[in-house]
Structure 1
């Protein structure tokens, strides 16, 4: 999905094959069990509302296709199959694929920050998701010999994130790792030996990464300083400046249709603003796609209902957080933080690849936990 052209479309027939096999092998018991999961209810509600929006005032067909495919797959998928060993191998294979893909495009082909057919921001978001799961596996209380696979996966998943030169994901990824570490330290305070080992490992990994990719990192750092100075001087034509302008445009459109949003008809409203000179051509071009903020974008296009559903799939994993096993807690807090922080400067749930991966990992993890019947 991450390395092929229209890979998200190619996942749909694979989903259908998996659903048929599951129904033939496991009968209806799996479906009856899965449809009792509140998380499945949530994504089903999001799927239904997205379909309604698509026919009512227009919405992304790719997002709708992804939600329908993932929802049907997760209804038929036996969650107990997603064991720790399976996750280790899935993440390792994913890391090998994205590392080879990024190195090939960035160095051999020379495409800069582009690594194939996907925009760098959703691509780096998906890569960060894989990396966070690998890091979570590293922190689990498993024997040292079992950490070889997640260590390899984590090491291989870092270059694609750096090569994407996506500052928002760099920040979201770093903070997500920090919150995972805090979660572990609260539950199991580390020993001095563990702290020393972690410090040395982090120092070596950081130094190696900084040395190998110093040109990429320095370029983005200097670009950020340049953009901040431009904004301070009143020039908003930079990447950061354009985002600030997009965030200023969104509230006015939200006030016009707060409940259901504008859908694709927002382009007509933006065109009127362009003709009246209220926004520039650049802002019209970017806003017609999205507003570089998941929550503002969802409010503009899908209204309060759409926003509540998106926030729900971020909040629900945190609501059952205390019922999850240790490893699942690390994965959950890491992925929720990643998508929330990334959503402040981009729209990760609008893109099929990160949306699909988020749901494929978290729905089984959060749906198989044992909860107190009185909770």
Structure 2
């Protein structure tokens, strides 16, 4: 039995967790501060509960040790590279600490919060989706052209985060938070579709690349008892229908056609053309060139990338003057890490994505409990979604997005953990 102090402490963490979702779509730098507050509160929750041995969640006692070890490779890679290049100062160490240390720290304390209470942080997801839709609609009105870049996010980052939260909203239909599940399910469908409409208004091609993943997770969640043949057939048919609808929209057709034309022009005519696709190709080629000269440890700093563009890539004709002077990162998380921290850094980034993703996918496939599978689908969407987003956009450009990613991984790990039937809301699959 929890004391009033412990109960109020749990409620405070859940409230701040809900606000974290909302703050991440705001045009402010609030998530970084909120992340640190949650880490401190997690320690407080751990301290308030650690003497109660009977409250120690068995599911969290040791199963994440391997995960935390794999996720620490990210921090190790940054430290090794910085020591090798004597660049010990820099935000990269703090960024790596936020994940490699922040993830186990959040799990340490938040594992004591009852699942039936922690799941209410999803209210923040719904509020965030509604806010993002309203904000994108406001920026697009009345012409509904692609909205301008905001102070904190560009249209790509904002659009794909909106899409991710919209999918999480739809996956949560099997997790009732109120006493009226039917009405709640209808509201979630409406909110999720509004969020996707907002994403479409951003005209972001990166999200379209991730859409097949989100659709597959939704089908695996909904069709637990179907045969593999039916799941594959249903997925392919659904994918064909969805993309037929998408490509019937002029804005999608125009963006895809534009990408194709820019790519062909860059490859066949002018490799340093000032177009969206060609600039990305210039940045990617430059990052690979930087890595080839520093294969093991990279340059030791993300900030070195722009200097390399100006001194080496420009001289070699890999980039235009515009690209060298106006871009300081490669628009690709994998290539930034590879050029900055070498092969060990790349391994650390892959563990950051796929070590937790493996846990989520296993739970989604193996569990028979609707709530567990729903939360597992959310966690898998976060990890694999960011892995896909990172191919064409620098999602971890700032501290706030990595903090948000770490926070979501921790929350969905705890919510999707195996538990007694009395702890699970929702019927069996």
Q: Provide the C-alpha distance between the structure 1 equivalents of 2:148 and 2:102, rounded to a whole number of angstroms.
A: 27
**Which has the larger share of helix?**
1
The TM-score normalised by the length of structure 1 is 0.77
Matches of 1:269 and 1:148, distance apart in 2: 52
1:109, 1:353 → 2: CA distance? 31
User: In the superposition, relative to structure 1, how do residues 348 and 113 fare at CA in structure 2: closer, same or farther (>3 Å)?
Assistant: same
Unaligned runs of 5+ in 2: 1-23, 365-371, 420-429
Note the alpha carbon deviations across 1:133-173, whole angstroms, 9 max, x for none.
1222247799644423421331221133112222112221x
**Do the aligned partners of 1:135 and 1:154 also contact (CA within 8 Å) in 2?**
yes
When residues 91 and 298 of structure 1 are mapped into structure 2, their CA distance, relative to the original with a 3 A threshold, is: same
1:253 lines up with 2:253 in the alignment: no
Task: Give how far 1:239 is off.
Answer: 1.2
Q: How does 1:1-375 map to 2 (within 5 A)?
A: 1-12=24-35, 14-15=37-38, 18-19=41-42, 21-23=44-46, 25-27=48-50, 36=62, 37-38=64-65, 39-47=67-75, 49-50=77-78, 56-57=86-87, 59-60=90-91, 63=95, 66-67=98-99, 70-71=102-103, 72-78=105-111, 80-81=113-114, 83=116, 85-86=119-120, 88-107=122-141, 112-114=146-148, 116-117=150-151, 118-138=153-173, 144-172=182-210, 174-184=211-221, 187-189=224-226, 216-231=251-266, 233-236=268-271, 237=273, 238-262=275-299, 263=301, 264-274=303-313, 276-279=315-318, 280-285=320-325, 289-320=328-359, 321-324=361-364, 325-366=372-413, 369-370=417-418
Unaligned runs of 5+ in 1: none
Q: Is the 8 A contact 1:175 1:337 kept in 2?
A: no
Task: Indicate the residue corresponding to 2:14 in structure 1.
Answer: none
Structure 2 Cα separation of the partners of residues 9 and 108 of structure 1:
33
Q: TM-score, normalised by structure 2?
A: 0.68
Q: Indicate if the aligned counterparts of 1:258 and 1:303 stay in contact, CA closer than 8 A.
A: yes
Deviation track 1:47-75 (CA, whole Å, cap 9, x = no partner) reads 46546767843654573575489444444
